[in-house]
Structure 1
């Protein structure tokens, strides 16, 4: 039995790391079974329904990879509604939000497209193509409701048995499952509350049921989670002209730099239903053979209503600037309303079948899987109603958070009868990304060096198909009064600072006659990307030292298809880019138990980030409405980014169940990819030497990211009386990164925040648990501009959340949650200065109550 446990433990890296977290068994009992868990066993019973932090700590200690874990107990302790929001609590992880919810995560400062996402070791496909840096490889984690999964891992060092994708790390989502040795389980919750900004309701719940049959030979688990809300967003966005020659002589340089090209007042209301349902079954054919089947669907359906009031062409004719007050007077301004209604259906799907058996001295496990990510808009109506005459306006953005405006001549800009020129139309789209994969692994006790040596080897095939297509339909009329499409009181928003006119009748917008839908040739993408891999690794122990090392080889064969179009969007012809290359990835992991309480780790790992589909495509979009044409296109000549990573980690067990750890890492990259902007490019095909503002992507050579991570948790049980319930959880990550963002100009890498931290005070005593959690993400470069004056930055974010539970009985628990107590804004600026905001939106707080039952 001891040899069996050592064998399984040394196979820890064969399929990634997984959590063993148990409600019933105590932590030390769960630890005895961690061997199978961290081996990434194909048994759906690997992960149990509820997990505790002490059990998660124990799994981390036994794993051969460097990793962090968010067990279900920890996820439920704060109002995190999806996988992204739960992951932000872990060391080195920062969250990017959209539509008021967490969506993507960065690991150690790496853009989300550069990290991997798996579901119990099976690689997930991208769902939302609008990833922050345009790679369309990241999985949008808001598709996964918090009650649907059993735990989360962030794996920061990889081994030869794992896919080599993951420059920053790999997010592994674990399913809900039966605890080992438990006949059945039932775990459910229901709750609701209010989102304060619009006083709208939010409802959520989940249920998991598992049962063993036929003398425990068959285990079945089913789970379902949902969240339904109607989130409101108040937003102001702006574009600057960045041309000091357009302002009158004598204008101060500071005010000249603040001249708007346009300013946009945006009121949003989203109606989203997020659901996840799945399950699995394991059947033990014999003591040595096991088969399993699992699958899931997770995603959301969302309708969005957007009222946007825009002052456009503010810089075309600036007639006066008041240096004392900061007021601009502009003539010939074109105001318009964009009343928008959309429907989006986004999801991830998985079907997996596999098993394991013993053949002689070899343990063989194999699986086949199909996974899919999809995102489609059945309709996306944008009805733009403009004032065709133009007006004269005075605006002032001296207060960057509250830009004011007024029309001259007594014009009421909220009067819908002014807006009679109709444009835009309908732009539905479809995106899908799916993969068929097969994996087979072999392992056997082979004693070459050290004790308990295990040789493991295997192979995998991944065949991926990605498709994208958008469509367009115009309106059959170009003159129509906005007055016929409003149906409510004036919209007062941004804490009452603005009145942007009568609320639109969104249902009526759908009745505007449209021209037939036509495929937009510039948006067509049809890509195949196949990856063939093999690996060999050897594991052994040398006293207190465990060693895992080996090499992985991956061959990539990709074909990326798009269309060439002319300046008018007409199809010229297909463009096909083919790329085939092979890479070798050596990896070495060391774990040393320096004493009863001190553990030391070191690893060297290598990884790859293939160019993003939107980055390598030959597709391009052209906008010729401005004086200088704007062209956005991919770069079919991009090479993959190769990363090498050194990790050092030390953890120490404190008295009374506390843990403190400190780590350092350094990553260096070749052929790093970043977005590029070229102002006045003269070599763009189709423009014959004409100056063009070109947005694309480039390999910028070498880059690096290094830093330190600190993690500490402790309940202060040594304090007297009721104070013994007080505890603290916290982590801090500092990252220093650099690379060439423009020729000859080095800077921190896009989306790399130098400082992130989490801190939480909690109180646990008897039936009461209280927790106040804080997260912080520092400023980072969000988008690279043509020069430093047009770079966009994400401003620092600090947020407080609160969670409380009360155990009514051993089976019934009541909870209270408050999300975003601080009404934290999402704020982007041009340059690092807050004097130049380009987006400033907020959502206010959420308040929720509910019940949980488990037995």
Structure 2
């Protein structure tokens, strides 16, 4: 249990505030319940109807759970224009969304990085589908892979039970498959929509269907069932992106650029999902099932980018502007296809054997990111005596003027280089698990039981990279491959010149076989082998837990043990002939330009115990107090623990993973009070404290290298080697609280009785040693996060407006505070309305990202913007049917 006396005063105050405010929350719940009773309303937890409202269903699950969870059904998700599971889950208390390319991609829980969030589908752990995560751990599940049309419900588990995988440091997001509603033998749900993305005036197609039925047997006995889901979402979102890199030298002005980039993106994405479950239930005691899911997208990316690179001295002018010399202009086209997919196959069963209940499953899951091509053609202009004058007084829209050159004239640019590559990132996981529960009789309670189980998760993670870099290119002018009118973008603030033709670039390059192109195959093979990874990670687990009830007090307690056996492999480039370049590590790979790729590997074996105690006390049927202690783990990211190194002998610099990293572990304390209101409402307060050990940070250190291969490659250096790597810190902490209030004001008179509101707020104060001797917030921790919605609804009409706020967070730890990178706060707004034409058919209209709030990254301070990206709003219309 957390020792409160060790907490600093500020964090102790947070915990004490949580305990004191429990009384206020309980009083609020009691008052509202009394008002509701006076209005002849029925409490959500006592509703007994053939078909409960989705809010009542979710809230009942939360109220009866032995641990701390938040949950939402697909019907609730559809009330706002969320197009993937991440956007929906981020509206719940404690969750925050990270956005990329205009969609929600990663979910942080309680201020901890997305790599520390675990995701499951029907209890099967989901592998990462996109290897690029904010903190480079490569373990986070990318939620833009999973469309909302494939969801039955979503649940955040915040306090782990022993029966759950311990790899859930921030928490676990469970995506539950669709199911036939209780009391029915069939269902069918259809959705068809269209719309417009305003960033590029492009269309949207939104189609989904889910259905199920029971069949077989004689008469009403239908032991077989099938449930299937289909989803298709197509859009062509465009983003306007502006970036800057600062010189960061004492001899230059603070805001002086080393380069500035303008990028005009066009994405063509088609997201598809298909899933189904075939089940056989011959009687009430036995059920067997087979389940399959595919979900993913194919995205074609076109990026027209213009870059100005500065040179010479940069001068601060009296009016605040800066003048820098121009080294060159680059105009480039990147055309890429990315195929991202998730595949799951599972078979399992549930059996009642005497008094014992047994369930089991075996499953295969694969996350895959395949890029068949990623081509960048760069055209360069080098003006003789040009300069750029720029002013960043408005750091959102800096102004600039090019002096002495026309950067928009394509005839001044010539083809300088072409790169291309094929990449495959793939993570596969095989799972087997069995659980058994048996009633016990220590207290005589009907829900008392002992549950035990065991599981195995066998994971492989690979990265294959096949690059092409030109060594010669034909003499081609940019004017021969551009088309159309000049582009003015970023809300017409900047000219970006004419776009480069994708077809023109393809015809010119011809897969490297075009006239005038040449490359060095040995160099390409060497570069590909340098980043290759092949990792294995096996986790075996067993647990035992007991659930008991003593009157109004419910206790669930137990212990989980997990043992991990892992091996990680890669290649390190060392000078040919270096000590260790061969033999001990499996021999040499081909050499190039005096260097050899040496296979390197490392192993990790460790066992961890995870105790858990969950207490639930029922003050009243609609007022619950909870206290829990749980423990969890996060294993190092594959990039972080990679044993390979990149060695720059000339500059005495090494970039490498750290094969000696320990996993992060956490002891978690939760205290909460939950008041349940009519119609699925709630008023709750939760305070939490996560005590973290061995937190992993990016590190720049000097010396300390022990790897004999790296030491041999460096030779005798006169100064300590600069090492860019990762390391554990002994301890870190995330402490905070969550407020949640959701109520329909049915006690108001007349038309006002349709009003309701949903509000939640999360405060997180995290701390760790981000640099030696210096504490700071943990990466990805937003101190303040909030969601708010105002709605009106009756049996036919529903109107809902919502805003979501994610506070500023640390993105990257630099060598000093001056170069730390931050993701700036973002406020987003959405609006949706639907009208039921009949009990079966409804129409809807919705607006996404109505504020068009930019995704902004800064360095050091808020006026040093290194990236600012806008996606534009979208409007969606369509109809739904439920049969």
What is the CA RMSD across the aligned residues, in angstroms?
2.3
Choose the corresponding residue for 1:78, options 77, 80, 83. 80
Partner of 1:665: 688
Task: Report the 3-state secondary structure (helix = DSSP H, G, I; strand = E; otherwise coil) of the residue aligned with 1:786.
Answer: coil
Partner of 1:542: 550
- Report if the CA contact (8 A) 1:380-1:428 is conserved: yes
- Report if the CA contact (8 A) 1:681-1:693 is conserved: no
The range that moved more, 777-786 or 675-684, is 675-684
- Report if the CA contact (8 A) 2:245-2:260 is conserved: yes
1:406 aligns with 2:386: no
For each residue in 1:618-643, what CA deviation from the matched residue of structure 2 results, as whole angstroms up to 9, or x when unmatched? Answer: 2345689xx96875421111000111
For each residue in 1:783-803, what CA deviation from the matched residue of structure 2 results, as whole angstroms up to 9, or x when unmatched? Answer: 100111000011111111001
- Report if the CA contact (8 A) 1:321-1:329 is conserved: no
Deviation at 1:389, TM superposition (A): 5.5
Partner of 2:622: 597
For each residue in 1:619-674, what CA deviation from the matched residue of structure 2 results, as whole angstroms up to 9, or x when unmatched? Answer: 345689xx968754211110001111011111112356532011110000110012
Choose the corresponding residue for 1:423, options 398, 417, 428. 417
Q: Highest relative contact order (Cα 8 Å, sep 6+), 1 or 2?
A: 2
Specify whether residues 817 and 629 from structure 1 end up closer, same or farther in structure 2 by C-alpha distance, changes over 3 A only.
farther
- Report if the CA contact (8 A) 2:269-2:299 is conserved: yes
The separation in 2 between residues aligned to 1:504 and 1:621, in whole angstroms, is 35
The separation in 2 between residues aligned to 1:89 and 1:739, in whole angstroms, is 27
Partner of 1:228: 234
Deviation at 1:445, TM superposition (A): 1.2
- Report if the CA contact (8 A) 1:51-1:72 is conserved: no
Specify whether residues 395 and 155 from structure 1 end up closer, same or farther in structure 2 by C-alpha distance, changes over 3 A only.
same
Partner of 2:190: 188
The separation in 2 between residues aligned to 1:580 and 1:31, in whole angstroms, is 52
Partner of 2:634: 609
Structure 2: unaligned runs, 5 residues or longer: 1-42, 513-518, 576-591
- Report if the CA contact (8 A) 1:521-1:565 is conserved: no
1:375 aligns with 2:369: yes
Deviation at 1:420, TM superposition (A): 1.4
Matched ranges for 1:719-730 at <5 A = 719-730=748-759
1:637 aligns with 2:660: yes
Partner of 2:295: 298
The separation in 1 between residues aligned to 2:95 and 2:869, in whole angstroms, is 23
- Report if the CA contact (8 A) 2:572-2:646 is conserved: no
The separation in 1 between residues aligned to 2:428 and 2:366, in whole angstroms, is 4
Structure 1: unaligned runs, 5 residues or longer: 1-25, 34-47, 248-255
Could you state the TM-score of these two structures normalised by the residue count of structure 2? 0.87
- Report if the CA contact (8 A) 2:306-2:496 is conserved: yes
The range that moved more, 507-516 or 272-281, is 507-516
Partner of 1:139: 141
Deviation at 1:471, TM superposition (A): 1.4
Partner of 1:272: 269
1:507 aligns with 2:535: no
Task: Report the 3-state secondary structure (helix = DSSP H, G, I; strand = E; otherwise coil) of the residue aligned with 1:301.
Answer: strand
The separation in 2 between residues aligned to 1:216 and 1:363, in whole angstroms, is 23
The range that moved more, 383-392 or 141-150, is 383-392
Deviation at 1:447, TM superposition (A): 2.1
Partner of 1:487: 483
- Report if the CA contact (8 A) 1:656-1:718 is conserved: no
Partner of 1:200: 202
For each residue in 1:339-366, what CA deviation from the matched residue of structure 2 results, as whole angstroms up to 9, or x when unmatched? Answer: 1000000011100001121333322111
Task: Report the 3-state secondary structure (helix = DSSP H, G, I; strand = E; otherwise coil) of the residue aligned with 1:280.
Answer: strand
The separation in 2 between residues aligned to 1:766 and 1:522, in whole angstroms, is 62
The separation in 1 between residues aligned to 2:119 and 2:479, in whole angstroms, is 48
The separation in 1 between residues aligned to 2:673 and 2:332, in whole angstroms, is 55
- Report if the CA contact (8 A) 1:31-1:58 is conserved: no
Deviation at 1:545, TM superposition (A): 1.2
Partner of 1:15: none
Deviation at 1:70, TM superposition (A): 1.9
The separation in 1 between residues aligned to 2:659 and 2:674, in whole angstroms, is 45
Could you state the TM-score of these two structures normalised by the residue count of structure 1? 0.90
Choose the corresponding residue for 1:811, options 830, 840, 854. 840
Task: Report the 3-state secondary structure (helix = DSSP H, G, I; strand = E; otherwise coil) of the residue aligned with 1:611.
Answer: coil
Partner of 1:464: 459
- Report if the CA contact (8 A) 1:334-1:391 is conserved: no
- Report if the CA contact (8 A) 2:797-2:835 is conserved: yes
Partner of 1:44: none
Deviation at 1:326, TM superposition (A): 1.4
Specify whether residues 497 and 257 from structure 1 end up closer, same or farther in structure 2 by C-alpha distance, changes over 3 A only.
same
- Report if the CA contact (8 A) 1:397-1:404 is conserved: yes
Task: Report the 3-state secondary structure (helix = DSSP H, G, I; strand = E; otherwise coil) of the residue aligned with 2:815.
Answer: coil
The separation in 2 between residues aligned to 1:83 and 1:370, in whole angstroms, is 21
The separation in 1 between residues aligned to 2:283 and 2:314, in whole angstroms, is 86
Task: Report the 3-state secondary structure (helix = DSSP H, G, I; strand = E; otherwise coil) of the residue aligned with 2:342.
Answer: strand
- Report if the CA contact (8 A) 2:169-2:633 is conserved: yes
Specify whether residues 302 and 558 from structure 1 end up closer, same or farther in structure 2 by C-alpha distance, changes over 3 A only.
same
Deviation at 1:391, TM superposition (A): 4.8
Specify whether residues 546 and 681 from structure 1 end up closer, same or farther in structure 2 by C-alpha distance, changes over 3 A only.
closer
Specify whether residues 395 and 70 from structure 1 end up closer, same or farther in structure 2 by C-alpha distance, changes over 3 A only.
farther
1:735 aligns with 2:785: no
Number of aligned pairs? Answer: 799
Partner of 2:111: 109
The separation in 2 between residues aligned to 1:739 and 1:31, in whole angstroms, is 49
The separation in 2 between residues aligned to 1:226 and 1:64, in whole angstroms, is 37
Deviation at 1:442, TM superposition (A): 1.3
Task: Report the 3-state secondary structure (helix = DSSP H, G, I; strand = E; otherwise coil) of the residue aligned with 1:594.
Answer: strand
Partner of 2:215: 213
The separation in 1 between residues aligned to 2:603 and 2:49, in whole angstroms, is 49
For each residue in 1:404-439, what CA deviation from the matched residue of structure 2 results, as whole angstroms up to 9, or x when unmatched? Answer: 333332x21111222214224102210100011100
Partner of 1:746: 775
Deviation at 1:55, TM superposition (A): 1.2
Choose the corresponding residue for 1:151, options 150, 153, 172. 153
- Report if the CA contact (8 A) 1:308-1:338 is conserved: yes
Partner of 1:40: none
- Report if the CA contact (8 A) 1:539-1:547 is conserved: yes
The separation in 2 between residues aligned to 1:781 and 1:182, in whole angstroms, is 49
The separation in 2 between residues aligned to 1:830 and 1:397, in whole angstroms, is 17
Deviation at 1:327, TM superposition (A): 2.6
Deviation at 1:695, TM superposition (A): 3.2
- Report if the CA contact (8 A) 1:656-1:716 is conserved: no
Task: Report the 3-state secondary structure (helix = DSSP H, G, I; strand = E; otherwise coil) of the residue aligned with 1:480.
Answer: coil
Partner of 2:128: 126
Specify whether residues 737 and 533 from structure 1 end up closer, same or farther in structure 2 by C-alpha distance, changes over 3 A only.
same
The separation in 1 between residues aligned to 2:172 and 2:391, in whole angstroms, is 43
Task: Report the 3-state secondary structure (helix = DSSP H, G, I; strand = E; otherwise coil) of the residue aligned with 2:88.
Answer: helix
Partner of 2:784: 755
1:707 aligns with 2:732: no
Task: Report the 3-state secondary structure (helix = DSSP H, G, I; strand = E; otherwise coil) of the residue aligned with 1:73.
Answer: helix
